[in-house]
Amino acid sequence: MDIKNLQRENIKNLRPYSTARDEYKGQASVFLDANENSFGSPLPENFNRYPDPLQLDVKDAISKIKGVPIENTFLGNGSDEAIDLLFRCFCNPGKDNVIILPPTYGMYEVSANINDVEIRKVNLLPNFQLDLDGIAEAIDENTKLIFICSPNNPTGNSIIRTDIETILANFKGLVVIDEAYINFAKQRTFIQELTEYPHLVILQTFSKAWGLAGLRLGMAFASSIVIDILNKVKAPYNISQSTQDLALAALQNVTQVNDWIKVTVAEREILSQKLLGLPMVSKVYPSDANFVLAEVADAAGTYHALVDQGIIIRDRSKVVLCDGCLRITIGTPQENEILLSALKSIN
């Protein structure tokens, strides 16, 4: 499989911007190469220097946790940057197409539209699993990307592993598995499969389990060929020095994060059971994520009644296959109790 030929011709021929930091990487005492402020910065930390364009220290710390070599790791301003870059590197506007599997994360479609790339939608089956025949039919020679979100947002389920392997075995474009919620799942990550599939891209993020949605840091793991292409096209200093510093500090706190994951998973089961006990709730779908999808008698009415009590959830009832459904993020035990008593007070 020739990944290099998947990229757009203009990207293949692109000579990337060369930063001062790219041209000289060694030790020196006087840096007069990047037009920075040589005196310092008005902050206690020294932010006067440009950050490492390839974020090697952060990647090294991530590598120790995930076991993925640095050359197979890309960091973006959220996963959303990696999603956008995949379109810009691999999809010719007005010619190529991508496959998405609704109901799923909204950003794939927005990013496709921004980049003027055709979207082929193959809905999940009623059990929220892949329609493998439908996907096979939708693929043509201009299909460059398939986005598989597992665990899926907003349905919460993991996609059956062997189904993903079927796609990996048969599709010649890039298979993007969005594992934003993998830390809450029983299913294993596909990271171990990276060595086997040069066309596999795995997205993970610091925004969910890591508790750093405000930081904006996302990861893409892939073959070094794919990673090199993403790095060539990204903005040179896409991750700020403060983000790199804070991410490094956060990566020292794995124990705290793992504790939160355990509590969240336990609370997910408690909340699911208690929701099911409410007369208005007809169904709570099993979840491998930090949210649940619940089917209720009057989704819009329930949503607005909760808003009136200062509680915000997501009304997904207009989304395909999600008729009557609300998506509820797992809160702290106290927040979940507030939600439950509010729901009891409705009607």
Binding site residues, ligand PLP, CB under 6 A: 78-80, 105, 149, 153, 178, 180, 205, 207-208, 213, 218
- Adjacent-strand bridge partners of 118: 97
The 10 Å CB-count burial string (b at 16+, else e) for 77-96 is bbbbbbbbbbbbbbbbeeeb
**In the bound complex, what is the minimum distance in angstroms from residue 143's beta carbon to ligand PLP?**
21
Beta bridge partners of 121: 100
Task: Tell the smallest beta-carbon distance from residue 5 to ligand PLP (Å).
Answer: 28
User: Which residues, including other chains, have CB under 8 Å from residue 82's CB and lie 6 or more apart?
Assistant: 74, 76, 201, 203, 218, 219, 220, 230
Task: Give the alpha-carbon dihedral of 122, 146, 58, 64, to 10 degrees.
Answer: 90
| Alpha helices, DSSP H, located in the chain | 9-12, 20-23, 56-66, 79-90, 107-114, 132-138, 161-170, 224-233, 241-250, 254-276, 299-308, 333-345
> Closer CB to ligand PLP, residue 21 or residue 216?
216
Question: Residue 86 — φ and ψ, nearest 5°?
Answer: -60, -40
Q: Which is nearer to ligand PLP, 50 or 87 (CB)?
A: 87
Nearer to ligand PLP, 215 or 343 (CB): 215
Q: Which is nearer to ligand PLP, 72 or 77 (CB)?
A: 77
For the CB of residue 119, give the shortest distance to ligand PLP in the complex, in Å: 16
The dihedral through the CA atoms of 79, 84, 88, 94 has a sign that is: positive
Of the pair 203, 343, the CB lying nearest ligand PLP is at 203
Which residue lies nearest ligand PLP, judged by its C-beta?
Answer: 78
Q: How far is the CB of 197 from ligand PLP (least distance, A)?
A: 20
Instruction: Tell the smallest beta-carbon distance from residue 55 to ligand PLP (Å).
Output: 15
Q: Does residue 64 sit in helix, strand or coil?
A: helix
Do 120 and 151 meet the contact criterion of CB atoms below 8 Å apart? Answer: no
What is the phi-psi region of residue 77: left when phi exceeds 0, alpha when psi lies from -120 to 50, beta otherwise?
beta
Choose between 58 and 343: whose C-beta lies nearer to ligand PLP.
58
CB of 205 to ligand PLP, least distance (A): 3
Minimum CB distance to ligand PLP smaller for 210 or for 303: 210
Q: How far apart are CA 66 and CA 205, in angstroms?
A: 12
Pairing type for strands 118-121 and 97-100 reads parallel
